[in-house]
Amino acid sequence: MPFTFKLSKRLALMKASLVPAAAAVLAACQLQDRRGTTGPTLPSNSVVQVVIVPDTVTLEPSQALQFLAYGRTEAGDSTAITMTWSATDGAISSGGLYTASPFQGDYQVTATLLQTSASAAAGTSAPQGVPGHSVVHVRSNPGLAQVVVVPRSASVGTGATQQFSGYGLRTNGDSVAVSVLWSATGGAISSSGLYTAGSAPGGYVVRASAVGITGQAILAVNNASVASVVVSPASANMSVGGTTQLSATPKDAAGNVLAGRLVTWTSSSSAIATVSAGGLVSGAAVGSATITATSEGQSASATITVANLPVASVLVSPTAPNAYVGGSVQLTATPKDANGNPLSGRAVSWTTSNSAVATVSAGGLVTGLVVGSATITATSEGQSGTAAVTVSTVPVASVVVSPASANMSVGGTTQLSATPKDAAGNVLAGRLVTWTSSSSAIATVSAGGLVSG
């Protein structure tokens, strides 16, 4: 019998048997629908799993770590739970703060469910004693195997700088921060790893050492020309007579600082501001000047503005002088800026509060006229200072009688004169003089010094 005929016959038999079976199933389903259907069971709020975070961790001996735990319901929702904590070794607080064992090993931290917030709020009971676990591996840090210098190689110009850094590699391959001691050839290196190339080109080595382990980088130092110059500050304000320090930094084409390069300084107007070979600018007169720094044909400038600083105060000296009637005392006035620095060349005017007692000249010379006191004021640019002057009578230090001796006859007269003088021998005019005789029986003297024999 041909194969196609056999296959067709078999398919016909299968069709004949499947149709009644399908009809029976359909009838059963319709009957079930008429009797009522039963849907799938909804998941409950009960916690079926306790999740600990982290679920696995590696700690050093005696290292502390905070664990957290939450519940997962049958529906797959996360929910807050009340739990108790325990650990196979080490110590764990009621809040989940774990302190690792001082001994290396593998340990387990467990959170055991007491009650869930979700089930309590819903009025459903949660199964007690559902645990969650976390695995703790306690391991001592592996030792340091290598010190790595970054960058491993570099190329700089003579006098230029290059920043290096270093870190450690443990025996397990982990990177770790280490404190390194730097050393280098062909230049200088700071404690922070900043290398400054010397003036000689060549190949050099930078080394970083930690706990007896040394790493290194290869450095090529080449001749580098100055590509730019940076002047700092780029602008400055200063006063006449004041100074400002400028600095110039030559750099190569990559922006690296070139140390040890010759720099020359010039001023566009030395009448306003001068500059020294070291970049110290001095203000000479009010105005603006451009200060230029040049190195190997490259230059940069700073703008300097010179101005008179305002007077902030005036100091008069002495502050409480004494003057005699007819005598004089010299006062000085010093204008100062806000920082207390003297300001030279400022105009000062003088006034007296009582010209009947004391006068003052344009130069601050005070002359006493009569006994009393006066305030002398010096003013500069709206600011003033004062001195309190007391004028008194010059005391008599000596009296000269002339003539010092005289001969006269009985009944005759001789005129004497008395001259009061101060301690310096100066004649004191207008002073009261009284006359007396040691023996009026021999000679008398009048109030005017006329002697009668």
Q: Is residue 280 part of a domain?
A: yes
The answer to whether residues 353 and 390 touch, using CB atoms and an 8 Å cutoff, is: no
Collapsing DSSP to helix, strand or coil, 239 comes out as strand
34 pLDDT exceeds 60? Answer: no
DSSP codes of every residue in 37-94: ---PPPP-S-EEEEEEESSEEEE-TT-EEE-EEEEEETTS-EE-EEEEEEESSSEE-T
CA gap 348, 332 in Å, rounded: 10
Is residue 369 in a domain? yes
**448 and 412 belong to one structural domain:** yes
CATH number of the domain where residue 65 is located: 2.60.40.10
**Inter-CA distances, 234 with 106, 166, 281, Å:** 64, 36, 13
Are 161 and 204 contained in the same domain? yes
Q: Which of 40-49, 91-100, 162-171, 435-444 has the lowest mean pLDDT?
A: 40-49
Residues 180 and 103 both lie in one domain: no
Is residue 252 in some structural domain? Answer: yes
Looking up residue 342, the CATH number of its domain turns out to be 2.60.40.1080
- The C-alpha angle 264, 267, 269, rounded to 5 degrees, equals 165
pLDDT at residue 240 above 90? no
| 19, part of any domain | no
**pLDDT, greater one: 47 or 123:** 47
* pLDDT at position 127: 55
Which pLDDT band holds residue 316 (cuts at 50, 70, 90)?
A: very high
Confidence at residue 23, expressed as pLDDT on a 0 to 100 scale: 43
Q: What average pLDDT does the chain have? A: 86
Q: Examine the domain organization and report whether 241 and 288 are in the same domain.
A: yes
Phi, then psi, of 320 in degrees rounded to 5: -140, 70
Instruction: Over range 335-342, report the average pLDDT.
Output: 90
Question: Do 431 and 412 lie in a common domain?
Answer: yes
Q: Which of 65, 135, 146, 130 is nearest to 106 (CA)?
A: 135
Q: What is the pLDDT of residue 41?
A: 58
* 330/372 same-domain check: yes
CA distances from 360 to 39, 323, 330 (A): 118, 12, 9
250 φ, ψ to 5°? Answer: -70, 145
**Residue 23 forms part of a structural domain:** no
Residue 358: domain span: 313-392
- pLDDT at position 36 over 60: no
- Rounded to whole angstroms, what are the CA distances from 283 to 301, 305, 329? 17, 9, 35
Strand order through the sheet with 202-210: 153-157, 213-222, 202-210, 181-184
Estimate to the nearest angstrom the gap between the alpha carbon of 227 and the chain centroid. Answer: 32
Q: Is residue 7 part of a domain?
A: no
Q: How far apart are CA 293 and CA 266, in angstroms?
A: 7
Based on the fold, state whether residues 270 and 318 are members of the same structural domain. Answer: no
User: Of 171, 197, 222, at which residue does a domain stop?
Assistant: 222
Please list, residue by residue across 267-285, b when 16 or more beta carbons sit within 10 angstroms of its beta carbon and e when fewer do.
bebeebbbbeeebebbbbe
pLDDT in tens, 370-424: 999 999 999 999 999 999 999 998 899 999 999 999 999 999 999 999 999 988 8
With a cut of 60, say whether residue 21 has pLDDT above it: no
Token pair recorded at residue 75:
């529906």
Q: Which of 184, 201, 222 is the last residue of a domain?
A: 222
Q: How confident is the model at residue 174 (pLDDT cuts 50, 70, 90)?
A: confident
379, 422: one domain: no
pLDDT at 42: 61
Predicted pLDDT at 283: 95
pLDDT value at 5 more than 50: no
Phi, psi torsion values for 73, nearest 5 degrees: -80, 175
**CA neighbor of 51 nearest in space, from 69, 26, 24, 31:** 69
Q: Who wins on pLDDT, 115 or 356?
A: 356
pLDDT of residue 308: 86
Indicate if 271 and 317 belong to the same structural domain: no
* DSSP character string of 138-194: E-PPPPEEEEEEESSEEEEETT-EEE-EEEEEETTS-EE----EEEESSEEE-TTSE
Query: Mean pLDDT, to the nearest integer, of 327-346?
Result: 92
Residue 39 lies in a domain: no
Same domain, 319 and 387: yes
How many percent of the chain have pLDDT more than 90? Answer: 61
Contact 116, 101 (CB under 8 A): no
Looking at the structure, tell me whether residues 257 and 178 fall in a common domain: no
Residue at a domain's end among 374, 392, 410 = 392
Residue 86 has pLDDT above 90, yes or no: yes
Query: Does residue 123 sit within a domain?
Result: no
Domains: count for the chain: 5
- Whether residue 168 sits in one domain with residue 195: yes
Q: Looking at the predicted structure, is the pLDDT value of residue 17 above 50?
A: no
In this prediction, residue 345 has a pLDDT band, given cuts at 50, 70 and 90, of: confident
Q: Which two tokens stand for residue 23?
A: 């009809």
Using the predicted structure, report yes or no on whether residue 275 has a pLDDT greater than 90. yes
